[in-house]
Structures are given as C-alpha cells and as structure tokens.
Structure 1
C-alpha cells in the first residue's frame, strides 16, 4: 500500500492533462463497446461509437487530487452499441489513457447521459473526472 502527498497527486493529474494537450488542438475521446484493453498501448477493441473533440485545455480544474475535464464537444455517433470504455488521444493520435465509461451518476471516470448509442445520434454531455486514490 502507498499514499502520496496531495502535491504529487495533483502533479500526476497535471501530467495526464499535459499529455492530452501535448500536440495542441485536435485531441479526441473515442467511445467503444465492450471491455477496455489491458493497456492504452494496445490496439483499441470493440466497435468505435463516436470520436468526440476534446477542448483545449483538457483540464478545467485540478485540485485535491481530482482532475475535472472541460466538457467534451458534441459529435455525431458513427456506430451502434453500448459504450463501455473510451480512449483519450492527443492531437497527433497518440493514446494517452483508457477510461471505463458509464452513465451519469455512475462511479466511472467517463460519464455520459446514456451508454446505448446509435449511429446518427448526437452525443453530448460527456464528462471526465479522474481522482487519484
């Protein structure tokens, strides 16, 4: 077991935000069906449902060991299925991290109003909140 000082937790979260923002405007958060891969270094699995543009900067606030992302930009879904996870990529398309996804009110780090998605649906209201243990 380990416990980090709050300043270290916030610095780790800032490093994630910097990774998303690294290549400038054009980062994406792509939602997929099924379980997420074991590592963000692996190829994405499942059906791609929607690629949401990520605002620049990605982080709205980082405080008390919690990163709250700025609201995602709405986008049109291209696939059908149940969103299970998402991948944050920088503007160069490099994977930064994978996150479990769930409906608003769930304990998942990425939330959206509904996880059942259909092609042609406008997806909005997706948020990301990362909390250091």
Structure 2
C-alpha cells in the first residue's frame, strides 16, 4: 500500500535526494534506447556522455502542490559516442544510480530537456532543464 505524503514530507525527500546527489559530486549520464527496470540495475546501453552536476546540484521548491528539485543548468559536455539520447541516469560520484529519467526536447513535457537528442562523437550535449517533481 502506498502512503500519501504531505508536501512538506515530499520536500524533505527532495532535499535528501539533492544531498545524496551532491555527496561526492553528482552526475547526469546520457544513454541510448530505454532504461533498465530500476536505477539499481546496471545498463548495457551505450553511454553517450556525462555531465558533472553543480554543487548544490539544484534548487528546491514547490509548484502546483508538488515538491520540486530543479537542477542547475545549462550544463555542457562533449559526446563520447554517436547515438540518440533516450534517457538520463542521475548518479552520485561513486556511480550509484538514483533515478532514471526520460529525455526530450523543449515542449516535450519530459523531465530532462536537451538541446538535441541526436549526438555525434565529440559533439555537444547540452542539458537545458531538469525538473524532478513528487
């Protein structure tokens, strides 16, 4: 059974997520195709690139009754390989996955917004926005 949490409790969850991401330096890892069942599972998908998150990694807030964590952006890196970005794993500095999120372009309504989904080796990956809400 799922127990509903108050807004203040969900904001506490977001604060805990931010603290965990910030410990040891959080990362956003960009992959092709689809994520595994959970962020605890390793992925066999191609890693297209990674961005070191700022510290603190983002701002806490609330909107429309949801607790939010908005990552500090923009962040830019060069692609390690060519492919189409399908999802992003947020991980701590040791590589432990915290959350897998779908990626899209502006207007897609997805939590991770990029400048482009198709990337080429050595080309730019730019994280334009990332909003996590609970």
- In the alignment, the residues of structure 2 paired with residue 94 and residue 105 of structure 1 have an alpha-carbon distance, to the nearest angstrom, of 30
> Which position in structure 2 is the counterpart of 1:12?
13
Deviation at 1:32, TM superposition (A): 0.2
Q: How does 1:37-116 map to 2 (within 5 A)?
A: 37-64=36-63, 65-116=67-118
Equivalent residue for 1:118?
Answer: 120
- Name the TM-score, length of structure 2 as normaliser: 0.87
SS in 2 for 1:30: strand
Q: Aligned partners of 1:9, 1:27: CA distance in 2, in Å? A: 21
Contact 1:78 1:120 in 2 (8 A): yes
Preserved CA contact (<8 Å) 2:32 2:83: yes
Distance 2:10 2:52 in 1: 26
| Pair 50,33 (structure 1): closer, same or farther in 2 beyond 3 Å | same
The structural deviation recorded for 1:4 is 2.4
Task: Output the TM-score relative to the length of structure 1.
Answer: 0.88
Q: Following TM superposition, by how much is the alpha carbon of 1:72 offset from its aligned partner in structure 2, in angstroms?
A: 4.8
Unaligned runs of 5+ in 1: none
Counterpart Cα distance in 1 of 2:122 and 2:128:
16
- Matching of residue 32 in structure 1 with residue 28 in structure 2: no
SS of residue matched to 2:121 = coil
C-alpha deviation, 1:70, in angstroms: 0.7
Residue ranges of structure 2 left out of the alignment (5+ in a row):
none
